[in-house]
């Protein structure tokens, strides 16, 4: 039991961070506007949660210009994918145990 709890990742223990990771698991990359629409959050909220995931090295941020408009897009890293997969497995086994 203790083992499983250890796999519950604190970094994903928030609806928005969970959402960002879910989207990035099944999409090669997602830009800021797309994530905002999907998650239904404000700019500031999304930016701060994305920063938290970036600090853990779970996602990478790519900034570039499309024409004159700045475009920010996010990608899940290999370690981010592994950590998220472990997190889902942990959630599942916790539910199955009880």
Partner 1 sequence: MENQKYLDDLQDIRNMMNRSTQFLSLSGLAGVMAGIYALIGAWFAARILDYHSGQYVTLESLTFKLILGIAASVLVLSVITALVLSHFKARRRSEQLWNHSSRRLLVNFLIPMTTGGIFTLLLLRHEVYGLIAPVTLIFYGLACVNASKYTMSDVRYLGITIILIGLLCTEFSGYGLLFWALGFGLCHIIYGSIMYFKYDRK
Footprint on this chain of partner 1 (rule: CB under 8 A): 15, 18-19, 22-23, 25-27, 30, 34, 37-40, 88, 91-92, 94-95, 98
Rounded CA gap, 54 and 60, in Å? Answer: 6
DSSP state of 28: S
* Residue 90: partners with Cβ closer than 8 Å, 6 or more residues away: 4, 5, 7, 8, 9
Is the Cβ of residue 8 or residue 55 nearer to partner 1 in the bound state?
8
| Smallest separation, CB 37 to partner 1 (Å) | 6
Least separation in angstroms between CB 35 and partner 1: 9
């Amino acid at each position: 039991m203790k083992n499983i709890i250890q796999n519950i990742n604190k970094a994903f223990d928030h609806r928005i961070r969970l959402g960002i990771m879910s989207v990035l698991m099944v999409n090669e990359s997602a830009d800021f506007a797309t994530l905002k629409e999907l998650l239904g959050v404000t700019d500031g909220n999304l930016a701060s949660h994305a920063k938290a995931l970036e600090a853990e090295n779970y996602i990478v941020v790519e900034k570039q210009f499309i024409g004159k408009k700045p475009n920010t897009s996010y990608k899940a890293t290999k370690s981010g994918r592994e950590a998220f997969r472990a997190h889902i497995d942990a959630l599942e086994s916790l539910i199955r145990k009880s």
